[in-house]
Amino acid sequence: MSMLKINDLRSYLKNKSNQELIKEIVELAKQFPVVKEYYRTKVDPDFEIEIFEKYKKIIQDEFFHYKGFGKLKYSNINKAIRDFKKISKNSKLIAELMISYSELGVEFMIEYGDVDERLYNNILRSYINALDYIFKNGLEEKCKDRMNHIREDVVGVDWEFGDNMSEVYYEYFSDFDNEEE
């Protein structure tokens, strides 16, 4: 089964009237909640914060569910971040969501102690992904203290993990720190 090519889609859409296009988009919004959220942020930019809070809560519930112990389904966490990136182009909110993943993971480690290597690997990966995004979007100054705070919190949980987080942090911020001086 081959994927739909963008040129084929364009040709299909060019043959539609404005009324038919509107109907098509409305149907998409009815069928796919993420499409509905996408257009809602276009119509009402203030809604973006509400959507952000929804996706942040999804991540939070994976670590600390209101009914008790979180499920820790990393696929749900990563999907929440991917879906929010599709809806929002606000780099500060996207970075905030990515940082929240790392913060909540560290908070979970502190709360429950030595969990498992998979958790460490996922939190380290989320930390690296957040740093990549922060630096690609010029948010270093705004996010530096929080990223450092995550690194500091981890040192007391596990020495090796703390060393790994510190190494990653200084790989990113060593040049940044030198520029500030």
Stronger pLDDT, 176 or 145, i.e. the higher one: 145
Residue 21 lies in a domain: no
Residue 29 lies in a domain: no
What tokens does 169 get? 């942090």
**129 pLDDT exceeds 80?**
yes
CB distance 137 to 122 below 8 Å: no
Q: Name the β-bridge partners of 94.
A: none
> How far, in Å, CA of 85 to CA of 105, rounded?
20
Residue 139 lies in a domain: yes
Count of structural domains within the chain: 1
Residue 131 lies in a domain: yes
Question: Residue 111 has what pLDDT?
Answer: 86
List, for residues 41-59, the tens digit of each pLDDT value: 889 988 999 999 999 999 9
> How far, in Å, CA of 83 to CA of 59, rounded?
12
Residue 4 lies in a domain: no
**181 pLDDT exceeds 50?**
no
